[in-house]
Amino acid sequence: MLTPKPSQAVNNMKFFADTADVGAIAELNELGMVDGVTTNPSLIMKSGRDIIEVTREIAGMVDGPVSAEVVATKADEMISEGRKLAEIADNIAVKVPLTWDGLKACKALSGEGKTINVTLCFSANQALLAAKAGAAFISPFIGRLDDINVDGMELIEDIRIIYDNYDFDTKILAASIRSVNHVKDAALAGADVMTAPPDVIRKMAHHPLTDKGLDAFLNDWKKTGQKIL
Ligand code: E4P
């Protein structure tokens, strides 16, 4: 396990909801559990809504960054799409893929003062390039690495060390989180942010011993015949 570093300990780990489902975001928001939102073309497809319309609605629901992803593959077109997405609201983070063209778009758009989330990161070297290109966020995909029998969490640990070695400001956004253990391990590894589907965030509250203990307390309480209110 990594020893927490003082520079990390002062940061509040941010929770982003990885969804374009406004109902699910609203529910988590009531609990103050949403510091931001990440979307991608697949999540927009799942929502069945227009990207501009749904992104604008989400951006109005949360104060933190709302990632909206470009779909062009050439840098010039990515830059144009990024500018259009950034116009949706002040809290938009433009998501670009970690390709050479994506890095060019990252450099150009971050130079214009836009918040850039570089996505589809699967190696520490890719993360190093994104930081040098001015990314505000790097999104290493934990679950998709685990899917191919590569330890996704090791990538988070490596990027943490590299970014700390050189004081890069780029935030590590642990993505492709599939389980509550991913959340815990990303926190232990010092990820600045984790983005997870709403049901994973809800599941974090669950423990069978909590349910069992509560049942026992309530049964005993009934036997007292008392009421608090
Ligand atoms: C977040 O930015 C990513 O789009 C998302 O976490 C990908 O998750 P998946 O690998 O479960 O699709």
**What DSSP element (H or E) covers 127?**
helix 124-132
pLDDT for residue 10 is more than 80: no
Task: Determine which residue's CA is closest to atom 5 belonging to ligand 1.
Answer: 176
The stretch 113-135 carries a mean pLDDT of 98
Stated length of the chain? 229
Average model confidence (pLDDT) across the chain:
95
Note the pTM of the prediction, 2 decimals. Answer: 0.94
Q: Tell me what pLDDT residue 93 has.
A: 98
Site to probe by mutation for ligand 1, drawn from 15, 183, 194, 195 as the one with most ligand atoms within 8 Å of Cβ, is 195
pLDDT for residue 216 is more than 70: yes
Q: Tell me what pLDDT residue 5 has.
A: 52
Helix ranges, 11-99 (H)? 22-30, 41-47, 51-61, 75-86
Q: Is the CB of residue 91 less than 8 Å from the CB of residue 58?
A: no
* Dist. CA 174 → ligand 1 center (Å): 9
Alpha carbon distance, N-terminus to C-terminus of the chain: 46
Three-state SS at 172: strand
pLDDT for residue 9 is more than 80: no
CA 36 from chain centre, in angstroms, equals: 8
* Dist. CA 221 → ligand 1 center (Å): 44
**Percentage of residues in the chain having pLDDT higher than 70:** 95
- With a Cβ cut-off of 6 Å, ligand 1 is lined by 18, 38, 40, 119, 139, 141, 143-144, 175-176, 178, 195
* Dist. CA 18 → ligand 1 center (Å): 7
Q: What is the pLDDT of residues 139-175, one digit of tens each?
A: 999 999 999 999 999 999 999 999 999 999 999 999 9
The CA distance from 99 to 128, in Å, is 13
Residues in Cβ contact with 10 at an 8 Å cutoff, skipping those fewer than 6 apart: none
Helices then strands, counting H and E runs in the chain, come out as 12, 8
Task: Determine which residue's CA is closest to atom 1 belonging to ligand 1.
Answer: 175
Write out the catalytic residue numbers: 95
Phi, psi of 193 (to 5 degrees): -140, 150
The CA distance from 143 to 131, in Å, is 22
Site to probe by mutation for ligand 1, drawn from 15, 18, 178 as the one with most ligand atoms within 8 Å of Cβ, is 18
